[in-house]
Amino acid sequence: MSRDDPSSLWPDIWVGVFVLLLGALALWQAMVIPVTPLYGQVGPKAVPFVVAGGLIVLGGCLLFVALRGGWSWAMEDIDEPPNMRALMLMGAGLLANLALIGFFGFSLAATAQFVLVAAAFGSRSILRDLMLALVLTLAVWFLFVEALGVNIGAGLLEQGVLKLLGREIP
């Protein structure tokens, strides 16, 4: 299989078509989500529409690249085995999030996941990753709680920050 062989483009084309169809399915499902008039501007359809739009754009880009020669031909010369350390660290990040979110809350669980995934991608600055993750996850938590009114799991850290701010714990 080579870049010049037109039959080698079909797998890449099918991936693009599949992602486009997945985006269309997500769009269709987003449109049938029931919405009550209680939602002012941002309702339960917002995120599904964004995801569907992202899938459609990604599928279109993949299809465009496939029709221009594809991308999978570039993988032919790679004889390296998968990086098992990186895969294990990413899996550990997912498991850490699942194991910690119930007791420690969203921010600490997502911070543990962030640090492990950053290490999987080659980061060696654990302290920097930890600080960045804490700031980002707390910001996301407050955005969900304050802007969207959705409690995604207040844990020890969130409760402590709310106490420092003199706010009621949801």
Return the HEC string of 129-155.
Answer: HHHHHHHHHHHHHHHHHHHHCCCCCCC
CA dihedral of residues 88, 94, 95, 101 (deg, nearest 10): 150
Looking at the domain assignment, is residue 170 inside a domain?
no
**Higher pLDDT pick, 126 / 156:** 126
Do 96 and 145 fall into the same domain? yes
Find out whether 121 and 86 touch, Cβ atoms under 8 Å.
yes
pLDDT value at residue 134: 94
> What is the total count of domains within the chain?
2
Average pLDDT, the chain: 86
pLDDT at 89 over 90: yes
Q: Helix, strand or coil for residue 38? A: coil
- How far is 159 from 151, CA to CA, in rounded Å? 12
Q: Is the pTM of this model over 0.75?
A: no
Looking at the domain assignment, is residue 20 inside a domain?
yes
Do 89 and 127 fall into the same domain? yes
Burial code (b: 16+ CB inside 10 Å, e: under 16) for 10-25 equals eebeebbeebbebbee
Domain boundary among 75, 102, 132: 75
Do 112 and 149 fall into the same domain? yes
pLDDT value at residue 77: 62
Do 147 and 111 fall into the same domain? yes
**Token reading at 73:** 């031909």
Query: Which domain, by its residues, includes 137?
Result: 84-164
> Phi and psi of 38, rounded to 5°?
-70, -25
- How far is 158 from 166, CA to CA, in rounded Å? 12
pLDDT value at residue 49: 92
| 13-71 confidence digits (pLDDT tens) | 999 999 999 999 999 999 998 877 766 666 777 889 999 999 999 999 999 999 988 77
